[in-house]
């Protein structure tokens, strides 16, 4: 199976503190991979290394076939990223946001026009390109942000708590977009605090104190921990944490 992420002993130290401590895992093409962990477990640091934004202290990793040490600029071009905190420019219109991100990722004007049409059509937002992003409800904003994060058909998209605060219906519509993207071969790397969402993933890893403590399909994790839900699995694992989020 084609690997979109490989990490081998990937480590990041800040002084003596190993924020990420020798993590080793692979993510397959088209997979929905849930990256779980308590606040302070090292998720954000790991994600920043994989996105080419932070140099590792040691270990190896490739993302979309590129090396995190030597080819981090190429990584940035071949991934998509969105988070709960930052996704789109609020004071630009929908159309302007699509044009801006399309431009950044090097799409031609013709490609941007085509993509704009397809994207707005898929979201049932035709003829709304002149609306300012800040006027959209959060659920719509996040669905739009996701679609824009994959406007350049990246090998992989990183989603950092994309559905926080989103209403329950919009949250499910958001996951529908994730399924569709994954069916098109885009790999999804997602963090969430909603444990029902962890159950939608093909495989899930749980970070505890900078290490990956468990990695398997939700079903196998539940079996192995004798738990009825991922919520229980997570609580069992995260409670073992020694370090707090300081």
Partner 1 sequence: MKAITVENIVKTYRIKKGVVEALNDISFSVDRGEIFGIIGPDGAGKTSLFRVLTTLLRADSGTATIDGFDVIKGYKQIRNRVGYMPGRFSLYQDLSVQENLEFFAAIFDTTIAQNYDLIKEIYQQIEPFKARKAGQLSGGMKQKLALCCALIHKPSVLFLDEPTTGVDAVSRKEFWEMLHRLKIQGITILVSTAYMDEASLCDKVALMQKGRLLSVNTTQGIIAQFKKTIWAIKATEMFRLMNELKNSEAIESCYPFGQYHHVVFKPAANNSELLKNIAVRGHFTQFEMKQIEPGIEDCFMELMQA
Footprint of partner 1 (CB under 8 A)? 37-40, 84, 135, 137-139, 161, 164-170, 172, 175-176, 179, 183, 193-196, 199-200, 218-219, 229-231, 234-235, 238-239, 241, 244-246
- Nearest approach, Cβ of residue 137 and partner 1 (Å): 6
Task: List strands edge to edge, sheet with 156-160.
Answer: 79-83, 156-160, 187-191, 32-37, 203-208, 211-216
- DSSP, collapsed to helix, strand or coil, labels residue 210 as coil
In terms of CB distance, is 74 or 131 closer to partner 1?
131
Give the pair of three-digit tokens for residue 128: 């709304």
- Nearest approach, Cβ of residue 183 and partner 1 (Å): 7
On whether the CB atoms of residues 16 and 71 are closer than 8 A, the answer is no
- Nearest approach, Cβ of residue 132 and partner 1 (Å): 9
In terms of CB distance, is 8 or 39 closer to partner 1?
39
In terms of CB distance, is 128 or 229 closer to partner 1?
229
Q: How far apart, in whole angstroms, are the C-alpha atoms of residue 43 and residue 51?
A: 12
Beta bridge pairs of residue 66: 63
- Nearest approach, Cβ of residue 244 and partner 1 (Å): 7
In terms of CB distance, is 113 or 232 closer to partner 1?
232
DSSP 106: T
- Nearest approach, Cβ of residue 193 and partner 1 (Å): 6
What backbone phi and psi angles, to 5 degrees, belong to 170?
-65, -35
- Nearest approach, Cβ of residue 245 and partner 1 (Å): 4
Burial 199-217 (b: 16+ CB within 10 A, else e): bbbebbbbbbbbbbbbbee
On whether the CB atoms of residues 152 and 105 are closer than 8 A, the answer is yes
In terms of CB distance, is 106 or 246 closer to partner 1?
246
In terms of CB distance, is 9 or 165 closer to partner 1?
165
What backbone phi and psi angles, to 5 degrees, belong to 74?
-70, -35
- Which element (helix H / strand E) includes 222? helix 218-224
């Amino acid at each position: 199976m084609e690997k979109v992420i490989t990490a081998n002993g990937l480590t990041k130290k800040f002084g003596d503190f190993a924020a990420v401590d020798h993590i080793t895992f692979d993510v397959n093409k088209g997979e929905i991979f849930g990256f779980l962990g308590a606040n302070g477990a090292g998720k954000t640091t790991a994600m920043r290394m994989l996105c080419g934004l932070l140099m590792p202290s040691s270990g190896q990793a490739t993302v979309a076939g590129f090396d995190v040490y030597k080819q981090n600029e190429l990584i940035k071009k071949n991934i998509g990223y969105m988070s709960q905190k930052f996704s789109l420019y609020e004071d630009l219109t929908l159309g302007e946001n699509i044009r801006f991100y399309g431009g950044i990722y090097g799409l031609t004007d013709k490609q941007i026009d085509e993509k704009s049409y397809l994207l707005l059509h898929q979201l049932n937002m035709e003829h709304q390109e002149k609306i300012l992003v800040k006027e959209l409800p959060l659920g719509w904003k996040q669905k739009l942000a996701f679609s824009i994060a994959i406007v350049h058909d990246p090998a992989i998209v990183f989603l950092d708590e994309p559905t926080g605060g989103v209403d329950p219906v919009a949250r499910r519509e958001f996951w529908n977009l994730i399924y569709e993207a994954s069916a098109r071969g885009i790999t999804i790397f997602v963090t969430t605090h909603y444990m029902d969402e962890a159950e939608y993933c093909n495989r899930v890893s749980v970070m505890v104190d900078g290490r990956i403590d468990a990695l398997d399909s939700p079903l196998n994790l539940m079996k192995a921990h004798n738990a009825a839900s991922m919520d229980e699995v997570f609580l069992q694992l995260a409670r073992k944490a020694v370090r707090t989020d300081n």
